Structure 1
Amino acid sequence: MYGRTVCLRPLLFGLILLLAACSRLDLAYRNLDVVIPWWIGTFVTLDDNQERWLEPRLRKHLDWHCRTQLPEYVAWLEQLSQLSQRPSLTQTDLQGQFSQVRDAILGIAVEITPTALGLAESLSPSQMGELYVAMDERNAELHEEHVAPPLKEQIAARAERMRGHVEDWMGPLRPSQQARIDAWAKAQGDYNRVWEENRQNWQKELRNTLYARHNTDFPSRFTALLQQPESFWTPAYRKAYPAAEEAMARLLADLFNSADERQRSVLRQRIGDLVADLKGLECYPG
Structure 2
Amino acid sequence: MTATTFPQPATFRFSRMLPLALALLLMLSGCSSVRLVYGHLDWWMERNINKYLDLGGTQEDLLELRIDEFHRWHRQTQLPRYADFFEQLAGQVDINAAPTPTELDTLLTQAETRVDGLWHNAVVMLSDLILPLVIQLDPAQIDQLEENIRKEQEESRKKWEKTERKRIKEFRKQADRWLGDVTDEQQAIIDRHVATTQFDPKLRDAQRQRWAQTFLQVLREKPEGYRQQLRTMLIDPQSLWPADYQKMRQQLRTQARQLASELLLSATPEQRQHLKHTLREYAEDFRHLAAQKH
Asked if TM exceeds 0.5, the reply is yes
Higher alpha-carbon deviation: 124-133 or 173-182: 124-133
Q: Residue 94 in 1 paired to residue 105 in 2? A: no
Q: Residue 49 in 1 paired to residue 58 in 2? A: yes
Q: How does 1:139-150 map to 2 (within 5 A)?
A: 139-147=153-161
Is the alpha carbon distance of 1:279 and 1:110 closer, same or farther for their aligned partners in structure 2, counting shifts above 3 Å? same
Q: How far apart are 1:6 and its partner, in Å?
A: 5.0
Is the alpha carbon distance of 1:81 and 1:32 closer, same or farther for their aligned partners in structure 2, counting shifts above 3 Å? farther
Q: Residue 114 in 1 paired to residue 125 in 2? A: no
Q: How far apart are 1:156 and its partner, in Å?
A: 3.8
Q: Residue 128 in 1 paired to residue 147 in 2? A: no
Q: Deviations over 1:244-283 (max 9, x none)?
A: 2122112111101111122222222211211111111264
Q: Residue 187 in 1 paired to residue 201 in 2? A: no
Q: Which has the higher contact order (CA 8 A, sep 6+)?
A: 2
**1:104 — aligned with what?**
118
Q: How far apart are 1:225 and its partner, in Å?
A: 0.7
CA contact (8 A) 1:188 1:244 kept: yes
Identity of aligned residues (%): 22
Q: How far apart are 1:206 and its partner, in Å?
A: 1.9
CA contact (8 A) 1:156 1:185 kept: no
CA contact (8 A) 2:123 2:235 kept: yes
Q: How does 1:27-106 map to 2 (within 5 A)?
A: 27=39, 29-31=40-42, 40-85=49-94, 87-88=98-99, 90-106=104-120
CA contact (8 A) 2:168 2:190 kept: yes
Letter in 2 for 1:82: G
Gap regions ≥5 residues in structure 2: 1-12
Q: How far apart are 1:62 and its partner, in Å?
A: 2.0
Q: How far apart are 1:49 and its partner, in Å?
A: 0.6
Q: Deviations over 1:157-188 (max 9, x none)?
A: 33332222211222221121111111112221
Between the aligned partners of 1:173 and 1:108, the Cα distance in structure 2 is 33
State the TM-score, normalizing by the size of structure 2.
0.80
**1:260 — aligned with what?**
268
CA contact (8 A) 1:95 1:246 kept: no
Q: Residue 229 in 1 paired to residue 234 in 2? A: no
Q: How does 1:189-228 map to 2 (within 5 A)?
A: 189-212=198-221, 214-228=222-236
Q: Residue 246 in 1 paired to residue 258 in 2? A: no
CA contact (8 A) 2:186 2:266 kept: yes
Between the aligned partners of 1:7 and 1:110, the Cα distance in structure 2 is 11
Letter in 1 for 2:146: Y
Q: Deviations over 1:217-266 (max 9, x none)?
A: 21011011112111011322211222221221121111011111222222
Higher alpha-carbon deviation: 249-258 or 85-94: 85-94
Letter in 2 for 1:71: P
RMSD: 3.0
- What secondary structure is seen at the aligned counterpart in 1 of 2:135? helix
Between the aligned partners of 1:191 and 1:24, the Cα distance in structure 2 is 37
Following TM superposition, the consecutive aligned residue runs of length 4 or more in structure 1 with deviations greater than 6 angstroms are 18-21
Is the alpha carbon distance of 1:236 and 1:37 closer, same or farther for their aligned partners in structure 2, counting shifts above 3 Å? farther
Letter in 1 for 2:122: I
- What secondary structure is seen at the aligned counterpart in 1 of 2:60? helix
Is the alpha carbon distance of 1:113 and 1:139 closer, same or farther for their aligned partners in structure 2, counting shifts above 3 Å? closer
Between the aligned partners of 2:138 and 2:131, the Cα distance in structure 1 is 14
- What secondary structure is seen at the aligned counterpart in 2 of 1:24? helix
Between the aligned partners of 2:17 and 2:238, the Cα distance in structure 1 is 20
Between the aligned partners of 1:30 and 1:117, the Cα distance in structure 2 is 19
- What secondary structure is seen at the aligned counterpart in 2 of 1:122? coil
**1:165 — aligned with what?**
174
State the TM-score, normalizing by the size of structure 1.
0.82
CA contact (8 A) 2:75 2:290 kept: no
Between the aligned partners of 2:120 and 2:168, the Cα distance in structure 1 is 28
Q: Among residues 261, 269, 289, which one is paired with 1:281 in the alignment?
A: 289
CA contact (8 A) 1:169 1:270 kept: yes
- What secondary structure is seen at the aligned counterpart in 1 of 2:53? coil
Between the aligned partners of 2:27 and 2:292, the Cα distance in structure 1 is 17
